[in-house]
Amino acid sequence: MQDIYMVLLLAAIFILFAGFMQWCDRAIQEEDKR
C-alpha cells in the first residue's frame, strides 16, 4: 500500500513541475503582450 502512496506522491510532484513550467511560459508571454 505504501508503494502506491510513494508512486502517487512522485507523480504529483512531477505534475507540479509541469504546472510550474506552464506558469513560467505564461509569465513570459504576458510580459511580451504588455
Partner 1 sequence: MDILQLIIVIGVLVLLVKPLGTYVYHVYSDQPNRTDRLFGGIERFIYKVIGLKSRDGMTWKKYALSFLLTNIVLVALSYLILRLQGSLPGNPNGIGAMEETLSFNTVISFITNTNLQHYSGETGLSYFSQMAVIMMMMFTSAATGFSVAIAFIRGLTSRGSTIGNFFTDFVKSHTRIFLPLATLITLVLVALHVPQTLQPNVTAATLEGATQSIAIGPVASLESIKHLGTNGGGFMGANSAHPFENPSPLTNVIEILSMWALPACLPYVYGRFAGNRKQGWVVFGAMMSLFLVFLATVYTAELHGNPVLNNLGADASQGSMEGKEVRFGIAQSSLFTAVTTAATTGSVNNMHDTLTPIGGLVPLAEMMLNVVFGGKGVGLVNMLMYAILAVFIAGLMVGRTPEFLGRKIEPKEMKLIAIAILVHPFIILAPTAIAFLTDLGQGAITNPGFHGISQVLYEYTSSASNNGSGFEGLADNTPFWNMTTGLVMLLGRYVSMIAMLAVAGSLVRKNTVPETIGTFRTDNVLFGGILVGTVVIVGALTFLPAVVLGPIAEHLTIR
- Where on the chain is the footprint of partner 1 (CB under 8 A)? 2-3, 5-7, 9-10, 13-14, 17-18, 20-21, 24-25, 27-28, 31-32
Return d(Cα 1, Cα 28) in angstroms, integer: 41
Return d(Cα 31, Cα 7) in angstroms, integer: 37
- Min dist CB 1 to partner 1, Å, is 9
- Min dist CB 34 to partner 1, Å, is 9
- Min dist CB 11 to partner 1, Å, is 8
